[in-house]
């Protein structure tokens, strides 16, 4: 199981934030600067920019990832643990407290993280060298396989619910009580500053505090209260990662996923089709028919090679009151009266759980109808749930907020052939339909979506709505007036045309409503597909900026440049690929992944000069900067004073085991080198280590950061060389061509702003260093230049795609003669192999793009092959 594109973007954002921490050595400054560079500084007056960092828990970095329901928060967190611990001193124990709000979610999380067959555990094993242990509170209280030696040598994930740490009941306070089973940890305390007042040093809470754990807070919107914040402080965390679809006001959002990304990756069934029926009877009848329609489509799809799907209806029954409303018992009786087999119907309420132990995804399972009230809240999960049918009284607005998210998850995370199976459905009969829609919007928002993600159809007449809304005082004084209306609210089984015994290969008796729903679904699905196609052409960050709304400050094109600017289409490299018909080809945007498709590190040499490695070693630690502010810092450690117990432990093993352990240590630091697979890198590192003697292996453990830098540089060099050779071969064989593709956006989000220099395309341009400003003042204001633009990086601007990973030139210029010029500036100190490769790529782009396009790499005074000095570039551009 690999990360989806948007999930990888979250991990990349987290890695970037950790880089900002290392650069600025302050949690709040790093966070503020991180967002300032993305979207500009915070302005309290107009609300633009990201609010400053909120120091909720002293000593701990506390950041939040906003991911809609069904977006794979748990899998993101699994990968994020590796990213976080890679930034830590490796001698520190890798302890994680994984907090969940409910007991059912706790059991689900423990099961998934513990099961060696589950993708979550498989990923953890891959990332942490199969040294992973998952604990529940009871395991820790008993000291079961939990001691200082074990904890030092593995990733320890402790799954707990909020109640265990903030409960006031006596039986739930065991984590704060003396515990002789944990006595072995006491001797490991370097000092006792972590001990809670009036709490025994052997108490589990003090053991946890001594580990300075990373805390993952699942569904963190449930942990905003003062009691919850105190709960987090009690854990003495070093890092807190919040996961939620709906961040609260005190959240420090470091990454957010737009809802459209989930639809792109087929994670959710959107949009939601909402249909307001005349009455409850119609709701039930249409829900039954719609379920049958979807199931027959699913069967047909499976016969044609698709996967097994058994669509399920969630009936939301009316809570039991003194009036005999449609309670869950009564609804089950009515469904049975329609001759629906009892094994197809299950009840799930606060007190009745007929779903316990049932695998709803199993082919042997018969369940097609689940009756609930509001028991199916967050934590319940079945992608086969397609229809939410609410049976609230007609005079009530339908409160579907709590369970709407349960019908959104897409089966098998793939697009299904029948469009009807790619959407979800809500059926109601509410005279207060507008209020019901608000509940649906709130439900979507609670799941991280918005009012754009549903489509409505209301067939109830205004007369029905008027007569359905009952004045309680009028009903009390004149009950006879309302008898007929109340009778209408009962379910009339004689009006239900659904036949549960129809042959599977027969044609079900449809209803006009089902036909209408299908027509709406087809139209809305087509619209959403078109929207996805259009958004796929936008810069990577644009969808995120749209999600952030008014927080993002945009700067538009100047009117006098608009006509010229909108006419430009910059070419990019495209690769000819073989389509399904072997006689046809199509084109796809060239990327580094396609160039490295056949690259094998196993075929490459392992010659690396380790003699020049710096003796300096930098480790991340937490150091108190001033009162109530702890910040990461780099502490220089001389080689001779390093006493790393892990190093001694590894070196005591046979050489084969040493190589395996040192490889693991290096892999933790190397991080992601996509598209080269981790397994390939791991084998390559092992090959390097096999050629080293015992003294060199010891030296690596002492200075593994420096050695790892050398290894990464070697891998980059090998892959760059291969990618460029492959690129040139494909150019020569006419398999790569340039095609007009990229257009300048109507408005930009530059983040930090540069100086106001004349002739710019946009109202304001992005920040520039001194040499960049000098270049654009001398070239961009030339009389033959219509406009210049500071090209944006990190997915915002134009890049030359090729053997170098997305080369973003610094400037785009447009001349009066219709020439578009890309300019890359380089200070004279930056003449290196990376600059040379970019220069070769840029010049090849110019050659392939044609007469109206040019590329200049400009140095100040240094003469470099293929590049230009500022004076020479200025002279040439003036003539263009």
Say whether both 178 and 158 belong to one domain. Answer: yes
How many angstroms separate the CA atoms of 509 and 179, rounded? 66
Q: How many residues does the chain have?
A: 880
Shared domain for 786 and 698, answered yes or no, is no
Give me the pLDDT at residue 618, please. 39
Q: Is the same domain home to 253 and 267?
A: no
CB atoms within 10 A of CB 223: 22
Q: Which residue has the tokens 């920040």?
A: 767
Cα distances (Å, whole numbers) of residue 714 to 70, 305, 835: 39, 45, 17
* 753, 839: one domain: yes
Return the H-helix or E-strand segment holding 297. Answer: helix 280-303
Asked, for residue 799, whether it belongs to a domain, the answer is: yes
- Give domain status of residue 769, yes or no: yes
Q: What CATH number should be reported for the domain holding residue 836?
A: 3.40.1350
Gap between the Cα atoms of 439 and 422, Å rounded: 22
Work out the angle at residue 163's Cα, subtended by the Cα atoms of residues 158 and 169, and round it to the nearest 5 degrees.
125
Does any domain span residue 274? yes
631-640 contacts, C-beta under 8 A, 24 or more apart: 631/25, 631/26, 631/27, 632/21, 632/22, 632/25, 632/27, 632/61, 632/87, 633/25, 634/22, 634/25, 639/615, 639/702, 639/703
Based on the domain organization, do 771 and 715 belong to the same domain? no
Give me the number of domains the chain comprises.
4
The CA-atom distances, in angstroms, between 358 and each of 344, 364, 376, 387 are 12, 10, 15, 20
Residues 713 and 816 in one domain: no
Same domain, yes or no: 297 and 235: no
Residue 566 counted as domain residue:
no
Instruction: Let me know if residue 593 belongs to a domain.
Output: no
Please give the average pLDDT of every successive group of 10 residues along the chain, which has 880 residues. 85 90 88 91 88 88 87 91 83 88 83 92 89 89 85 89 68 78 83 83 89 87 65 89 85 87 82 80 89 91 92 80 60 87 87 85 92 66 85 58 73 88 84 59 59 56 53 50 48 79 58 84 82 70 76 90 93 79 66 89 87 48 39 35 59 84 83 82 91 84 83 91 94 92 90 90 93 93 93 88 89 95 84 85 94 94 87 92
CATH of the domain at 217: 3.40.50
Q: Which of 207, 235, 257 is the last residue of a domain?
A: 257
Same domain, 686 and 655: yes
Domain final residue, candidates 257, 283, 317: 257
* pLDDT tens-digit map of 548-607: 878 888 899 999 999 999 999 999 999 987 654 444 557 888 888 889 988 999 888 888
User: Contact, 255 vs 14, CB < 8 A?
Assistant: yes
Strand partners, 620: 634
User: Please, are residues 204 and 174 in contact by the beta-carbon 8 Å criterion?
Assistant: yes
Res 429: pLDDT: 79
Q: What angle do CA 542, 544, 548 make, to 5 degrees?
A: 115
Q: Which of 224, 257, 290 is the last residue of a domain?
A: 257
Regarding whether 276 and 191 lie in a shared domain, the answer is: no
Per-residue confidence (pLDDT) for residue 320, from 0 to 100: 56
Same domain? For 434 and 470 the reply is: yes
Radius of gyration of the chain (CA): 31
The distance from CA 621 to its chain's CA centroid, rounded to whole angstroms, is 27
Domain presence at residue 84: yes
Note whether 647 and 711 are same-domain residues.
yes
Buried b (16+ CB within 10 A) or exposed e, 418-445: bbbbbbbbbbbbbbbbeebbebbbbbbb
Tokens of 689: 């280590």
The verdict on residue 591 lying in a domain is no
240 and 148 within one domain: yes
Backbone angles phi, psi at 721, to 5 degrees: -60, -45
- Whether residue 431 lies inside any domain: the answer is yes
- Note the pTM of the prediction, 2 decimals: 0.77
CA distances from 448 to 77, 247, 260 (A): 17, 9, 11
The range of the structural domain enclosing residue 833 comes to 743-878
């Amino acid at each position: 199981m690999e990360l989806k594109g948007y999930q990888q973007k979250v991990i990349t954002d987290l890695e970037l934030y950790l880089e900002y921490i290392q650069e600025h050595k302050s949690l709040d400054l790093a966070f503020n600067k991180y967002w300032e560079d993305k979207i500009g500084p915070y302005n309290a007056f107009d609300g633009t920019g990201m609010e400053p960092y909120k120091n909720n828990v002293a000593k701990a970095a506390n950041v939040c990832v906003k991911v809609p329901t069904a977006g794979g928060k748990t899998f993101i967190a699994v990968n994020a643990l590796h990213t976080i611990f890679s930034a830590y001193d490796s001698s520190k124990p890798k302890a994680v407290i994984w907090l969940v709000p409910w007991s059912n979610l706790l059991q689900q999380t423990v099961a998934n993280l513990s099961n060696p067959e589950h993708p979550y555990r498989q990923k953890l094993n891959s990332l942490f060298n199969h040294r992973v242990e998952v604990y529940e509170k009871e395991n820790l209280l008993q000291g079961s396989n939990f001691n200082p030696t074990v904890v030092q040598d593995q990733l320890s994930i402790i799954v707990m619910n909020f109640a265990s740490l903030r409960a006031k009941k006596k039986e739930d306070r065991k984590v704060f009580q003396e515990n002789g089973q944990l006595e072995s940890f006491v001797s490991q305390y370097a000092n006792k500053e972590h001990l809670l007042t009036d709490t025994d040093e052997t108490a589990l809470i003090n053991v946890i505090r001594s580990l300075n754990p990373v805390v993952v807070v699942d569904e963190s919107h449930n942990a905003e209260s003062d009691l919850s914040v105190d709960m987090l402080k009690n854990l003495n965390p070093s890092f807190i990662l919040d996961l939620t679809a709906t961040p609260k006001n005190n959240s420090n959002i470091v990454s957010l996923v737009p809802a459209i990304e989930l639809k792109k990756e087929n994670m959710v069934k959107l949009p939601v089709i909402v249909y307001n029926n005349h009455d409850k009877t119609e709701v039930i009848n249409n829900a039954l028919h719609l379920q049958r329609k979807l199931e027959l489509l699913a069967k047909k799809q499976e016969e044609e090679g698709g996967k097994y799907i058994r669509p399920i209806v969630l009936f939301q029954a009316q809570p039991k009151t003194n009036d005999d409303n449609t309670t869950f018992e009564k609804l089950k009786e009515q469904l049975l009266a329609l001759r629906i087999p009892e094994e197809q119907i299950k009840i799930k309420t606060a007190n009745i759980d007929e779903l316990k132990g049932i695998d709803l995804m199993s082919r042997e399972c018969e369940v097609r109808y689940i009756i609930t009230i509001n028991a199916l809240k967050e934590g319940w999960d079945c992608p086969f749930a397609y229809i939410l049918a609410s049976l609230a009284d007609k005079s009530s607005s339908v409160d579907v907020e709590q369970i709407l998210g349960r019908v959104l998850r897409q089966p098998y995370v793939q697009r299904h052939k029948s469009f009807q199976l790619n959407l979800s459905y809500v059926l109601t009969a509410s005279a207060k339909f507008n209020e019901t829609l608000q509940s649906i919007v709130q439900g979507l928002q609670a799941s991280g979506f918005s009012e754009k993600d549903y489509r409505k159809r209301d067939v109830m007449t205004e007369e029905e709505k008027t007569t359905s809304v009952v004045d309680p005082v009028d009903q009390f004084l004149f009950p006879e007036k309302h008898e007929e209306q109340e009778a209408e609210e009962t379910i009339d089984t004689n009006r239900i045309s659904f036949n549960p015994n129809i042959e599977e290969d027969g044609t079900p008796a449809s209803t006009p409503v089902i036909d209408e729903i299908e027509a709406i679904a087809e139209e809305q699905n087509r619209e959403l597909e078109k929207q996805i196609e259009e958004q796929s052409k936008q810069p990577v960050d644009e969808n995120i900026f749209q999600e952030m709304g008014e927080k993002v400050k945009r700067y538009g094109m100047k009117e006098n440049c608009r006509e010229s600017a909108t006419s430009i289409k910059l070419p990019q490299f495209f690769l000819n690929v073989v389509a399904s018909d072997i006689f046809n080809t199509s084109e796809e945007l060239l990327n580094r992944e396609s160039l490295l498709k056949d690259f094998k590190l196993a075929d490459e040499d392992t010659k690396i000069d380790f003699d020049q490695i710096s003796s300096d070693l930098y480790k991340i630690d937490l150091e108190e900067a001033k009162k109530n502010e702890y910040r990461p810092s780099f502490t220089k450690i001389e080689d001779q004073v390093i006493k790393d117990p892990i190093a001694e432990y590894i070196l005591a093993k046979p050489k084969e085991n040493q190589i395996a352990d040192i490889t693991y240590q290096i892999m933790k630091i190397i991080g992601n080198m996509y598209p080269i697979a981790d397994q390939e890198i791991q084998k390559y590192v092992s090959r390097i280590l096999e050629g080293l003697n015992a003294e060199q292996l010891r030296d690596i453990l002492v200075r593994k950061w420096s050695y790892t830098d050398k290894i990464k540089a070697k891998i980059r060099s090998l892959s760059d060389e291969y990618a460029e050779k492959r690129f040139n071969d494909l150019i020569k064989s006419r398999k790569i061509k340039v095609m007009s593709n990229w257009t300048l956006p109507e408005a930009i989000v530059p983040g930090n702003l540069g100086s106001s220099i004349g002739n710019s395309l946009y109202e304001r341009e992005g920040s520039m260093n001194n040499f960049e400003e000098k270049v654009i003042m001398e070239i961009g204001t030339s009389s033959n230049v219509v406009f210049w633009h500071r090209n944006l990086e990190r997915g915002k601007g134009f890049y030359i795609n090729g053997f170098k990973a997305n080369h973003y030139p610094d400037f785009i210029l447009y001349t009066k003669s219709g020439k578009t010029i890309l300019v890359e500036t380089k200070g004279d100190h930056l003449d290196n192999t990376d600059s040379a490769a970019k220069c070769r790529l840029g010049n090849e782009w110019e050659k392939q793009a044609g007469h109206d396009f040019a590329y200049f790499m400009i140095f100040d005074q240094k003469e470099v092959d293929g590049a230009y000095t500022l004076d020479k570039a200025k002279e040439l551009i003036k003539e263009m």
